[in-house]
């Protein structure tokens, strides 16, 4: 909930996935991210992909990246 509130507050558009109820989303999270844990934020920059799993880390990243806009 904290992560979604931060996304709304910062008006950051993201594609939400349902790893609990959607088997394809769950397998993608495991296969590409390495673990099944939510919240999770996948960040793609160039040819590099970073996965963040902790709410505080995700919110800190969002504030740093989008808070100054």
Using one digit for the tens of pLDDT, what is the confidence trace for 35-63? Answer: 999 999 999 999 999 999 999 999 999 99
Domain count, the chain: 1
Residue-level pLDDT at 63: 96
DSSP structure string for 2-57: HHHHHHHHHT-------TTT-HHHHHHIIIIISS--SS-EEEEETTEEEEE--HHH
- Its domain, for residue 41, covers 2-66
CATH label of the domain that carries residue 17 = 3.40.30
What pTM, to 2 d.p., does this model score? Answer: 0.86
Q: What is the mean pLDDT of the chain?
A: 94
Residue-level pLDDT at 1: 86
């Amino acid at each position: 909930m904290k992560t979604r509130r931060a996304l709304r507050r910062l008006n950051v558009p993201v594609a939400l996935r349902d790893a609990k109820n959607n088997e394809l989303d769950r397998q993608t999270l495991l296969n590409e991210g390495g673990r099944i844990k939510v919240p999770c934020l996948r960040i793609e920059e160039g040819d590099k992909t970073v996965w963040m799993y902790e709410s505080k880390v995700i919110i800190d990243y969002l504030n740093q990246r989008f808070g100054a806009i």
